[in-house]
């Protein structure tokens, strides 16, 4: 339990079941503690917001979108590094999100290498 507690928490917010099923397993394998949520609202309602060290966040979701959540967290003064993941490869969106402070924006499907690089960037590991 104490060992688990040392692992940094990565929260996954994505409405795609495929992602929620597969990504947590890989993240745990990479050494993180993981929670998965199907919507931004669900994440905000959980007790993990303050604990989350990195957010893997889908852009397009019913209701509150990824960028909406990013804004909400900023408004709350919660600066969580965010890695956006999206099924719509749109470079202009990616550029805008990076400019707004996102660590990275990965287009689905992405490789585990790309994910590791993004996580390393989020956690400041060179």
Task: Show the site string, 33-72: x = touches other proteins by CB under 8 A, - = not.
Answer: ---------------------------xxxx-x-------
Locate 23 and state its tokens. Answer: 């990504």
Element (H, E) at 83: strand 82-86
CB 13 within 8 A of CB 55: yes
Q: Nearest CA to 87 among 62, 66, 108, 105?
A: 108
Which residue from 7, 16, 34, 72 is in contact with other proteins, where contact means CB under 8 A? 16
Contact call for residue 78 and other proteins (CB under 8 A): no
How far apart CA 49 and CA 86 sit, in angstroms, is 21
Number of residues binding to other proteins, judged by CB under 8 A: 26
Residue numbers at the binding site for other proteins (CB under 8 A): 15-16, 18-19, 21-23, 25-26, 29, 60-63, 65, 85, 87-89, 107-112, 115
């Amino acid at each position: 339990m104490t060992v688990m507690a040392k692992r940094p928490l990565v929260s996954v917010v994505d409405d795609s079941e495929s992602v929620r099923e597969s990504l947590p397993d890989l993240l745990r394998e990479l050494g993180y503690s993981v929670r998965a949520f199907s919507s931004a609202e669900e994440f905000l309602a959980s007790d993990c917001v303050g604990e989350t060290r990195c957010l893997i966040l889908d852009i397009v979701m019913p209701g509150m979108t990824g960028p909406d959540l990013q804004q909400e967290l900023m408004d709350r003064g919660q600066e969580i590094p965010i890695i956006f993941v999206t099924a719509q490869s749109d470079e202009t969106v990616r550029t805008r999100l990076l400019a707004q402070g996102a660590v990275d924006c990965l287009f689905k499907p992405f490789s585990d290498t790309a994910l590791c690089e993004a996580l390393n960037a989020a956690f400041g590991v060179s």
